[in-house]
Structure formats: C-alpha cells, structure tokens
Structure 1
Amino acid sequence: MHPEDRENTAGGLTRRRFLQAGVAGLTGLALSSVSGWLKQAAAQLPPGSYNPQLQLSFPVEPGASLRILRWSQFVSTDQPEYERMAQQFTRRTGVPVRLEYEAWPDVQPKAAAAANVGAGPDIVLGFFDEPHLWPDKLVPVTDLAEYLGRKYGGWFPVAPQYGYSNQVGQWIGVPIGAPGSCLNYRMSWVKEAGFDPDPASFPKTTDEFLRLCRALKTRGHPTGFALGKAVGDANSWCHWLLWTFGAHAVAPDSKTITLNAPETVNALEYGRQLFETMIPGVAGWLDPNNNRAFLAGEVALTNNGISIYFAAKNDFPEIAGDMNHAVYPQGSAGRPTELHLFSQAYVFKYTKYPNAAKEFLRFTMEDPQYPRWINAMLGYVSHPLRAFTNLAVWRSDPKAVPFRDAVARMLPHSYQGTPGPKSARALSEFVIVDMVADALTGRRSVREAILAAESRLKRIYEA
C-alpha cells in the first residue's frame, strides 16, 4: 500500500465514530504503520499522546471544487510541493483545486473583500488572527482542529490562542505553522568583531547583542532590521523589542491599553541605540529587502526566516557556508518573547463545499503530506503540532535547528491580551511597527511615538 493512503487504512474510523469514541479508547495503538521519523517523535511525547491510527474524514459534496488563496512563496520549493499536495488531493477525491497566490501584504485585503461581498476563495491561508476580523463569516473547524491535536501530540500553546474564537465559541482557523524568525549573521564578520560565531555562544542578552552590533558597524559591517510595512520581518523584531524589556500594548483583560509605561521607554531607547548600527534605508524596508541586502553583503546581521539560507545554498554557496542562525537575545523580561509569522487557514461560510474544504485542510496537515512540505522548504515553516518536532530537516542541518521551536517559543501578537478582532485590526494597521519606526528614525521623540501609538490603540480597543 502506498504510504499516502495510510490515513484510510485499518480501523476505518469515520468522523462520527471518532467523535463518539474520543481519544481514551484509542491510546496505545500500534505504531507499525507509521514512518520512522514519527516513531522517533512519538518517543519524545507523553505516552498515548500520539495516535497514528486515529482517523477522520469529511464526506465531500458531489461536484465540489475548491478555490484557495494563499501567500506567495519565499523559498522556491514551497509552491511546487504545495501544488503537488493539491494534485494528490484531486486524484484521491475528484475535487479540482485552484490555487491563487498573493504577496504577503495583499492576502488580508483580498480576504476582506471576499468577506464583505460574500464571494471569493473557499479557503484562505492568511496570517496571525485574520480570521478574528470576521469570525461570524467563517465555517467552524473545531472538529478538525481537535482531531489534529489529539492525533499529533497536541498543539503548541499559541495555536489555540489564534485558532479559537471566544466570540463564537469555536475554532475558526486551522493553524498551519509559522515562518520562524531568527537572527541571520555572517560568522566570519562576527568573529572579526571579536565574538564567538557559534550559535551556542551567540549573545544571549540585549546588552551583549548591542555590543556585537556596534562592533560590526565599527568594522564596516552594519546590521539591518525592517522598519517599513513588512508583515513578517518588521512585526517580528518590533514586537520582540517591546516585549523583551517587559513592555506590552494591552493588559490581560484585552481592554486596558498599557503601552504608556517605563518599560516601553526602555525598549525604544535601546532600539535607538541599535538603529545607529543599521544600514541607511531600513525605514522603507519591506519583507524582501533584508534578504537582498544580506545576500549582497551589505549587512552582517538581520532577522529573517530560513529563506536567506535557502537562497544562499542554491545560488551563493560561499555565503551559505559563512552564515548561521541564532534565537533572539533576552532583555529584562528574562525569557523568550518572540513573535513569528503565524499562518492559519480558514473557510468562508459562503462556500458551497465546506466539507471538501475541511477535507483538503485535513489532508494537507496529515503525515506524510505535511512533513514532506516542511522538509522540502528546509524548515521554512515551523510546525504547530508537537509530533512534528523530529522532522528530517531538524535533524539533517544544524543551521536549521534554531527555527525548529519557533512556534513553541512564540507569544501571540496580542500579548498580554487574547487574539481577537481588535488585536487583528491593531496588527493590520502596524501600530507597534509605526511606533518603533517613529522613535528610532527620529520622526517623533520616544514620548511622542508612545503617545501616538497609545491613542491609536485606544481608538481600536475602545470602539
């Protein structure tokens, strides 16, 4: 039997039988039919937390077809592998799949237009808490999300924070994972600056990190961090900057704005010092800019996904051999405070084929389809399900390892609040990124930048 047919084999659990049986009667099932890497992953999980024979399927509607909108690729193997999955799905179900790709900043506007007019793609692969902008217009996916969590060792904590809607009391998104953000750096230049380039010895504190960046700049190797409307890079590092100094935009009640605080001042004052080590022009950088600058040798250090390394391995082997990755340093918060480009899929209620849509998402998130996609991308997307922690890519290349636990480490961008329509709007308007950019570039003083951002957040959260 072909391994791609495993989920339809013995046990033959239908959706109804799965929901009736639950997990209790399914623990301890044999791992004989599962691939070697997943056996190894299962060994790292609590007993019974991985259930390889647990099955769920959704009866596809007659004559179904699907139109899917998703973000465009940043590594060249992403779209071909995803399209291969879609073709497999079509061969197995008879459901034609039409894939449409948009640049990252353009996915949400396209989805918003579809939500407003009630027509467009059946499925959207978007970012962060987009689904919370229109939760009442989405097909609940609780059955699918709970099934995947039960089968694959559970979701990392951030996944239900993004996927579940308190407003409707259901999961409204299926977490896909996150293109992780780590520090990308040139090892020879870090060594030239007097620092150990080994990721294990890379600066662990913000003070050490600033010293490294200053030393690099002194030797003609500036840093570069996006301060434009970069959905991934700017959001990732600007939120880290805020949180690592103990600051946050909103209280746990998801109502009270807490941005105007000494911790925010400390974060922005530190950011101003870091800005002095950066290459000119970062105020206008979008997501592709730092990739180009790093590969051109214009910057020694930036934050990015593994896409720079992927491109270097293919086209710039000298740079690939001289670069490495490290996790973000920690400030006064004293713990990881990372934000990564969390992606999840959602299904609009106007679709004529909700079961086909959920069956497609189930198929693409299962073994072996999902692992093949992640491995093909060199780990560009970090997994949201615990059972995928031991994928081949995380074991085959040490330079990929810092990205492995990105989803496990991350906080939601709504921190300390809960993702929802208001935090989604604040993110879509780049409130935090604009505040950091204003303060660091000198467009506003630190105090003015904080007050302007606070005012914008109050308009959003008090509306």
Structure 2
Amino acid sequence: MRAGITRRRFLQGSGAVVGLTAAGRAPAFAQGSKLHVLRWVDFIPACDVELKKQAGEASKLLGAEVQFEFINANDLQPRITAWPHLYENGLLDVSDVAAWQAKDQGGFYPQSETYTKVGGRFMALPHSIVPGLIAYRKSWFDEIGVTTFPKTYDELRAVGTKLKKKGHPYGQTLGHTFGDAPAWAYPLMWNFGGVETDRSGKTAIDSKGSVEAVKFMTAFWKDACDEGGLAWDDTNNNRAFLGGEICATLNGASIYIAAKRGQEKIKDERGEPLVRDIQHARLPAGPAGSWSYHTAFAHAVMKYTKNPKLAKDFLKWFHGQDAYGRWFEVAEGFSVGATKRWERHPLWNTIDEPMKGFRTAPDNSRTMGFAGPPSAKATEVYSKYVVVDMFAKGAQGSSPDEAVKWAAAELKKIYG
C-alpha cells in the first residue's frame, strides 16, 4: 500500500492541470459541493474499504466532498438512471476523459470500449472487468482420473456426471442474478452456435445452435448439476463451494481469495486449507468455439449533475494510475483493468499460480447482443434475463424447441 499522494502528484498524475491555479491550489468548486458515487458492494470487501479511504483523499484534493454509496449489485438497476446503451440520453459525454485514459494506459479492451461507447461517444468511463473462470476442486477431479479440466462441454458433462454420483455436483446458478447466470448462459449459447441477433441487429436466437445449447443444458443439469441452482444468486455458489457442497462453479476470483484469506477456518474434508485444492479453468469449447462473457464495470456521470467539471476531475483522478493502482492491488486479481496496461502490473509476477489465468481472461469475451452490436435493446434482454430463462426453462422440463421459441418471442417484443 503506497502512502497518500500530494496535491501536486494528484494534479500531475491525473492531468487535471486546467483546474490548477498559479498558486498550485486544488480546483475551486462551490462551497458545499458534493459528489455522490454509486457502486456495487464488492465481493472483495477490502476493495470497498480502499475506496472509502480514497473518498477522503479525493475530497481534500478536489476541495469538494466525495461520498461513496455501496449497494447490492442486483439492486442497482432500479437505483441508476442509466446503463450506457439503455439510457444514453441521461448521461454526460465523457469522451474527453476516455481519450486521456486510453492514451495513458495502453488502450481499452474491446469489451469495455464497446459497452461504454454509444454513437461514437463515450457515455461512461471504463473502469474494470471482473473475469469469470471455473473454480474447481482439483483433488476430486483427480480421484476420478481427470488431471486436467475438461476441454469441451461434452467432456464436462461426462466428468460432472461421475462427480455428482460421488456427491460432488457442479454448481451453476440459473437465477435472476446479474453476474454468474448471464456469464454462463450467453457463452453456452454462443459456443453451440446460437446468437441473440445477426450482424444487422435482427433477432436470430431461434436457430439450431440455440436449440443444441438448451439440449445440452437440459441433460447437463439433470446429470451433473446441483438442481437447487435455479434459485441461486451470485453468492450461493460461493458459499456452496467453500462449504464443500459442489465440485466446480463459474465464478470470479472471489472464491479463491476468500479461501486464502480465511484458510485458518475454511478447510477441506481432510482438515487442510481449502485454498490448496482450488484451480481455475476457462469455459470449455462447444461446436462453435470457446467464448466467454465477463462483467465490465464503468462509471457514468448523470446529465443532470450540477457540477460536471467536478465529476470529470474526480474520474480522471479515480481512474488514474496511482489511485486505481492501489485499488487494483487490493483486488488481488478479482478485478482486472479495462485497459491493457494492467496486464503488465507486477502483481501478476507474485500472485498465486491458480490466479494467473485471470490476467488475460478478458481477451475472448463477446458482448450482449452478439452477433449484433450492444444496444439499448440488448441491454433490456439482459436486464430481463431472457437468455438465462431460456436455459432455466429447459432445466425445468420445457423441450429445447419450446424454450428457444419462448426466448424468440420475448426478443421480438423487445426488438420488434
């Protein structure tokens, strides 16, 4: 953890020279100016502790009060005026800050840029990506003769079937939860050749690829999965894994980090620290490839803000290499940068071997709406969990054809 930075270092590091007076004072904002920042409750609690520290630091440097509010991610949608594509008219254009960040930090990952850029303008500033990999119990896989994680979905089903018979099912949520459910459902559809729309943005989910994906999920669910996952949110699989109830689950790095930080209490069935038995792997491949969906985060400024300059000055500092670097180190690989510079951070040289796969995980991510571009309509499909529910219907007994046709009808209501 580095010591607090000086005002001059802040202004140099952030590039906020336009607000610097000849005397080197912080930008002068109206007395009583406040900046309210709404974020999710991080799965790494130490990250939020770090942000609270940074709020005080930024308040002094900016001469205005910066307040963070943390809220459960599944409750965020009702509390915000916008996702960039869904409510672009409610957001301030931050293209100038984005241009600075991209130049300063090696350019954005395509996923981060695509999600925040609407009509050629950045309507939010890319902040980070939470990659999802499959956490699995290496010793349980070894016990059935599987020394490397399955490379294909069919192999995963076969292995999962054996493990479920031994009392170690695969854990996967198909509930209405913003992270792990879409991160499983969208790639499963893509990897079997299904797509939400074609390149022109016309709905195309009613296809052989989508049917085959649901067909796989229906069998995999029965043969290999903990069938209670229909009601899980993004925390249930963490608890199930740490409690020794499941053999594997798609997740961010939070399971590993929690097991490491709590290794004196979180043990396996032999009484050994569970963290020693955790490995990570990318999603397996289907007939159409091996793609992933990772959760991208960004910060948007509401158009109704009374002080857009304060908001932009804060973002320039908050996303700068110094402040961001401290938060990045606390995250310990759970969150990776929205820009490629952070792949070269020294953290990756010292991090535990099972965590190193998160470093470049975002390099194979597609976006909602694929094969068309992200859009307000694709975001609405995501928010209404249409793709997730398509698979949930199959798991609950609908035929693959019925589940896909239901999804196609729902998409038609949204896309027209």
In structure 2, relative to structure 1, the CA distance for the partners of 1:60 and 1:395 (3 Å cut) is: farther
What's the CA shift string for 1:143-162, capped at 9, x where partnerless?
00111001111111112211
Matches of residues 102-181 of structure 1 in structure 2 within 5 Å?
102-112=71-81, 130-166=83-119, 169-181=120-132
Gaps of 5+ in 1: 17-57, 116-129
1:294 CA drift (Å):
0.5
Runs of 4+ in structure 1 displaced over 6 angstroms? Answer: 10-13
Please name the residue that 1:80 is paired with. Answer: 49
CA RMSD of aligned residues (A): 2.1
Q: Secondary structure at the match of 2:244?
A: coil
Give the AA of the match of 1:279. D
1:202 CA drift (Å):
2.2
Q: Secondary structure at the match of 2:112?
A: helix
1:258 CA drift (Å):
0.6
Please name the residue that 1:461 is paired with. Answer: 415
Moved more, 2-11 or 451-460: 2-11
- 2:368 pairs, out of 413, 420, 425, with 413
1:409 CA drift (Å):
2.2
Count of paired positions = 396
Matched, 1:399 2:354: yes
The answer to whether the 8 A contact 1:227-1:437 is kept is: yes
Matched, 1:274 2:220: yes
1:13 CA drift (Å):
7.9
Matched, 1:385 2:332: no
Matches of residues 55-454 of structure 1 in structure 2 within 5 Å?
61-63=29-31, 64-112=33-81, 130-166=83-119, 169-196=120-147, 201-254=148-201, 256-276=202-222, 277-315=224-262, 316=266, 318-334=273-289, 336-396=290-350, 397-442=352-397, 444-454=398-408
In structure 2, relative to structure 1, the CA distance for the partners of 1:340 and 1:195 (3 Å cut) is: same
Give the AA of the match of 2:138. M
The answer to whether the 8 A contact 2:218-2:391 is kept is: no
Please name the residue that 1:37 is paired with. Answer: none
1:361 CA drift (Å):
1.4
1:210 CA drift (Å):
2.0
The answer to whether the 8 A contact 2:13-2:321 is kept is: no
Q: Percent identity?
A: 32
Give the AA of the match of 1:332. P
The answer to whether the 8 A contact 1:156-1:386 is kept is: yes
1:379 CA drift (Å):
1.4
Moved more, 393-402 or 68-77: 393-402
The answer to whether the 8 A contact 1:375-1:392 is kept is: no
Separation in structure 1 between the aligned mates of residue 227 and residue 195 of structure 2, nearest angstrom = 28
What's the CA shift string for 1:185-210, capped at 9, x where partnerless?
111101012111xxxx3222222222
- What TM-score do you get using the length of structure 1 for normalisation? 0.82
- What TM-score do you get using the length of structure 2 for normalisation? 0.90
What's the CA shift string for 1:83-103, capped at 9, x where partnerless?
122221112112111111111
1:356 CA drift (Å):
1.1
1:288 CA drift (Å):
0.7
Give the AA of the match of 2:29. E
Separation in structure 2 between the aligned mates of residue 392 and residue 12 of structure 1, nearest angstrom = 24
Separation in structure 2 between the aligned mates of residue 232 and residue 393 of structure 1, nearest angstrom = 25
